C-alpha cells in the first residue's frame, strides 16, 4: 500500500513540476556526476530529464534516502563497479515513475543497513511506459529486487540476489522480459510472482540456491522460462546436477558489448560567446564562453557588475579547503582585473573545476570550469542561486541579466 501511495505522490509532483528545456529530437547530452550532491542536483532539477545520459564514476554513492527518476530517453550509467546505496531501510533505492525509455546500466544497487535490520521496501520500483536494466547487480535486504506496474521492463545481463521477499514482482498490466540474468540467495514466498493481468519471460537465466518456497503463484499470469537453469532452490525442480557458474561480467552485455566508459574529460572546448550582454538594460563587455550549448561567465566579473544591487554577492577562496565561497547579499570585494575583456577572444580549453562550492556556508552543486586560470560558472546556475533574471532574445542574439526580477527556469 505504501508503494502505491508513493507512486501517486511522485506522479502528482511531476505533473505540477516546472517543465525543463527539451533538446531537439535525437539530440543527446551527457553530464557527469562525481559526487552524491551532483547526482541529486541533476535529478532534482525542475522538469523532466530528456535525451540525457548521466555518467557516474567507479565509486560508491551513499544516499540517505532513495532517488526518484523522471525522464524520457534518460540513461544513468556506471562502470559496472559503480555502487548506489541507501542507508534507510524504509526507502526504495531507485524509483522510476511517469517516464519513458529510462535505462539503468552498469550499477550495483541496494541498501546499506546493518544485518539485523529488516528492509521494508524493495530496491528498484518502475511505473513507466518502458524501462531497461542492463549489467546491474541488485542486492537485498530489499523486499523485491525489481517491482513494476503499468510498465514494459527489459532486464539484461543482471544479477538479483539476497532479497527478502521476491526476485521480481510483475503486476498491474506489466510485461517483464529477463535475458541472461542470474538470481541467487533470495528468500521469501514466491520467487517471481506475476499478476494475472501481466506476463513475464525469462530466457537463458540461472536460478541458483534461492530459498523462496515456490517459483510462481498458482493464479500467475503467463510466465515463460526459455533455456533457464534451476539448481539448489527450495522449491525444487533442478534441471542440472552441477552447480552453474553465476559470476557475471557487468561491464558489457553479451550481445552488444558496451564501449569502455570514458572518464570525465580533462579538457573541453570553450567557444567565446558572441552575443550581446545587457545588465539591467546596459550593455556590458564580458569574457564569456559557450560550453556544450550553455553560457559560462567569469565568476568575479559577474559579482563585480552586480555589486550594489539587490542581488550582489561576495566571492571568497579557501586554498586549504579547495573551496569557493559565495555569500549572497554581501558587497563584493574587488580582486583586480574584473571586466578586463579580451579584444579578440579565441577558443579556449575548459577544465571541469574540482573545487567545492559553498553558498552561504552550505555546499552546493554548481557546474563550473577553469579557463585560463579563472573560474567560469553557468549563467543560469548563478541566476537560480542568487535569484536574478536571465533572458535570451534569439532574434537580437542578446543575453539579458535583470536584478529587478527573480529567476525563471527556461
- Classify domain 2-231 at the CATH class level: mainly beta
Residue-wise pLDDT tens digits, 313-358: 999 988 777 788 999 999 999 888 888 877 777 888 888 877 788 8
What is the number of other CB atoms lying within 10 angstroms of the CB of residue 20?
17
Give the span between the Cα atoms of 155 and 193, in whole angstroms.
16
Q: What is the pLDDT of residue 2?
A: 41
Q: What is the pLDDT of residue 266?
A: 56
Q: What is the pLDDT of residue 387?
A: 93
Residue-wise pLDDT tens digits, 52-68: 999 999 899 999 999 99
Domain ranges of the chain: 2-231, 268-402
Q: What is the pLDDT of residue 235?
A: 95
Q: What is the pLDDT of residue 89?
A: 92
What percentage of residues in the chain have a pLDDT greater than 90?
Answer: 53
Burial classification of residue 170, based on how many CB atoms lie within 10 Å of its CB (0-12 exposed, 13-18 middle, 19 or more buried): buried
Task: Please name the residue that has the C-alpha cell 564580458.
Answer: 286
pTM above 0.75, yes or no: no
User: Which residues of the chain fall short of a pLDDT of 50?
Assistant: 1-26, 252-265
Q: What is the pLDDT of residue 129?
A: 87
Give the span between the Cα atoms of 234 and 119, in whole angstroms.
22
Cβ neighbours for 347, distance < 8 A, ≥ 6 positions apart:
269, 270, 271, 272
Residue-wise pLDDT tens digits, 101-114: 999 999 999 999 99
Amino acid at each position: 500500500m505504501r508503494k502505491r501511495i508513493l507512486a501517486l505522490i511522485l506522479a502528482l509532483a511531476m505533473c505540477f513540476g516546472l517543465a525543463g528545456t527539451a533538446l531537439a529530437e535525437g539530440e543527446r547530452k551527457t553530464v557527469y556526476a562525481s559526487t552524491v550532491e551532483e547526482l541529486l542536483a541533476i535529478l532534482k532539477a525542475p522538469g523532466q530529464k530528456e535525451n540525457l545520459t548521466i555518467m557516474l564514476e567507479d565509486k560508491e554513492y551513499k544516499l540517505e534516502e532513495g532517488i526518484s527518476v523522471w525522464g524520457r530517453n534518460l540513461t544513468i550509467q556506471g562502470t559496472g563497479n559503480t555502487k548506489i546505496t541507501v542507508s534507510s531501510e524504509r526507502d526504495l533505492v531507485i524509483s522510476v515513475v511517469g517516464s519513458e525509455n529510462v535505462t539503468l546500466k552498469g550499477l550495483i544497487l541496494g541498501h546499506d543497513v546493518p544485518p539485523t535490520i529488516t528492509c521494508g521496501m524493495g530496491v528498484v520500483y518502475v511505473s513507466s511506459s518502458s524501462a531497461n536494466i542492463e549489467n546491474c547487480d541488485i542486492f537485498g535486504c530489499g523486499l523485491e529486487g525489481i517491482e513494476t506496474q503499468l510498465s514494459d521492463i527489459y532486464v539484461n545481463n543482471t544479477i538479483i540476489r539476497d532479497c527478502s521477499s521476491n526476485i521480481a514482482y510483475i503486476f498491474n498490466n506489466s510485461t517483464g522480459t529477463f535475458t541472461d540474468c542470474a538470481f541467487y540467495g533470495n528468500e521469501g514466498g514466491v520467487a517471481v510472482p506475476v499478476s494475472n493481468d501481466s506476463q513475464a519471460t525469462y530466457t537463458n537465466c540461472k536460478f541458483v540456491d534461492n530459498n523462496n518456497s515456490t517459483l510462481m503463484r498458482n493464479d500467475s499470469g503467463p510466465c515463460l522460462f526459455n533455456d533457464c537453469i534451476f539448481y539448489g532452490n527450495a522449491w525444487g525442480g533442478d534441471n542440472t546436477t552441477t552447480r552453474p557458474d553465476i559470476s557475471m561480467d557487468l561491464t558489457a552485455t553479451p550481445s552488444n558489448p558496451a564501449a569502455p566508459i570514458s572518464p570525465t574529460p580533462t579538457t573541453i572546448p570553450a567557444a567565446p560567446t558572441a552575443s550581446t550582454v545587457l545588465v539591467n538594460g546596459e550593455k556590458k563587455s564580458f569574457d564569456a564562453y559557450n560550453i556544450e550549448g550553455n553560457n559560462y561567465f567569469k565568476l568575479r566579473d559577474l559579482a563585480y557588475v552586480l555589486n550594489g544591487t539587490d542581488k550582489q554577492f561576495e566571492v571568497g577562496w579557501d586554498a586549504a579547503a579547495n573551496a569557493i565561497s559565495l555569500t549572497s547579499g554581501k558587497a563584493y570585494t574587488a580582486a583586480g582585473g574584473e571586466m578586463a575583456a579580451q579584444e579578440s577572444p579565441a577558443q579556449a580549453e575548459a577544465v571541469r573545476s574540482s573545487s567545492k562550492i559553498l553558498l552561504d556556508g552550505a555546499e552546493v552543486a554548481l557546474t563550473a570550469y577553469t579557463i585560463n586560470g579563472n573560474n567560469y560558472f553557468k549563467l543560469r546556475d548563478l541566476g537560480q542561486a542568487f535569484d536574478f533574471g536571465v533572458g535570451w532574445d534569439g532574434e537580437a542574439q542578446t543575453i539579458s541579466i535583470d536584478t529587478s526580477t527573480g529567476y525563471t527556469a527556461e
